[in-house]
Structure 1
Amino acid sequence: MYAYLQGELKFIFPTHIVIEVAGIGYECLTPNPYRFQSQMNKDVKIETQLIVREDSHSLYGFSTYEEKQMFLNLIKVTGIGPKSALAILATSSPNEIIRAIEAENESYLIKFPGIGKKTARQIILDLKGKLVIEDETHALDHFDMHDEEVIQEALLALEALGYSKRELQKVEKVLIKEKLKSVDENVKRGFQILVG
């Protein structure tokens, strides 16, 4: 129904962004909203997918068409819903996911929240040989924020992916020492710490 939205990026939250198009604010659930940090208050184009359920209408937004296609492929797998698909895409590129699937790397897939051995195996069975690695041409710039605020935003994003407060306390200590510059970098590093 909505292929994409083009408008001004107004707000960034741990689970979603808000884009204003012709005076209407569209809430888009995204894999890692902080990837869009450098685009704040600028005109952006977001690839979208509307998912209608009995109890909700949810609009999902992606930075690239390839990311959107990977999301659509993942939610076709038994046991994978939109939340799990977003968690997988939050810290991995579509190409990294495809490489893991083609290599039958279950250990890579089970490190994501909500993905167990059985679901990882199902992803491999359903998608191996059906996906193509694309050229990664879209990269969003980093945005500078105060260090403490950057870490807190990253922790909120990880919590939105399903990690507990206890797990996040361990991550916070490491992130404070490492002093990474952007929320996106901190989310990715936090994820590496959580999966060991």
Structure 2
Amino acid sequence: MIGRLRGIILEKQPPQVLIEANGVGYEVHMPMTCFYELPELNHEAIIFTHFVVREDAQLLFGFNSKQERALFRELIKVNGVGPKLALAILSGMSAQQFVTAVEREEIAALVKLPGVGKKTAERLVVEMKDRFKGMHGDLFSADSTFALTSESPTPAANDAEAEAVSALVALGYKPQEASKMISKVGRAGVDCETLIREALRAAI
């Protein structure tokens, strides 16, 4: 199993990143809360990964910390929650925000995530609350706010918005819903990652 990658970031196409390690390029799917914290292109990054093998695909999911990966692994153990839904959940909420929502039984906040209905939200609260009891409380202490640094030129607004919509669709939102979310936060001079972050925050 591939558990960790250390290499150079070649491409960033939310929510996927291409990282080259020892001459091999790995496509890694990441929650947007982790994606925001990646360094710029052509810089080195360390990503903790979870490898999923299906009949029709082999997928790598990546995280900035072992704690975030541990939470992802617990999420996909919940009945009805697969890797794609777990990715969407951790894109809409940071690990700390999710833990807090579960511990406080905030069903209303959870159902706003793509693909999470009331029954799934209730199941997440019941099952994850029990799982958290066996974990150390300080495992998920990441700051819920994310600072973005960008040295690259700001893309044209239409390009950034189109890319942001595509990323939300990849996370499980319907195209019309994704377009509506981005249109609410779209403005000139804003890059794709910022649009996605603000759209996801507004949805919670």
Is TM (by shorter chain) over 0.5? yes
Per-residue deviation, 1:129:
4.6
Structure 1 stretch displaced more, 184-193 or 112-121: 184-193
1:73: which partner in 2? 74
> Residue 171 in 1 paired to residue 172 in 2?
no
- On the 8 A contact 1:171/1:190 being kept in 2, the answer is yes
> Residue 106 in 1 paired to residue 107 in 2?
yes
Per-residue deviation, 1:190:
1.5
Please tell me the residue identity of whatever aligns with 2:142.
E
Output aligned runs, 1:73-92, within 5 Å. Answer: 73-92=74-93
Closer, same or farther: CA 66–37 of 1 in aligned 2, 3 Å: closer
CA distance in 1 between counterparts of 2:108 and 2:114 reads 13
CA distance in 2 between counterparts of 1:135 and 1:45 reads 19
SS at match of 1:5: strand
1:7: which partner in 2? 7
CA distance in 2 between counterparts of 1:137 and 1:98 reads 13
1:159: which partner in 2? 169
> Residue 150 in 1 paired to residue 160 in 2?
yes
SS at match of 2:45: strand
Structure 2 residues not aligned, in runs of 5+: none
Structure 1 residues not aligned, in runs of 5+: none
> Residue 21 in 1 paired to residue 27 in 2?
no
CA distance in 2 between counterparts of 1:54 and 1:83 reads 15
1:57: which partner in 2? 58
Count of aligned pairs between the two proteins = 194
Per-residue deviation, 1:109:
1.0
CA distance in 2 between counterparts of 1:29 and 1:172 reads 21
CA distance in 2 between counterparts of 1:119 and 1:170 reads 24
Closer, same or farther: CA 101–111 of 1 in aligned 2, 3 Å: same
Runs (4+) of structure 1 exceeding 3 A deviation are: 137-141, 179-182, 192-195
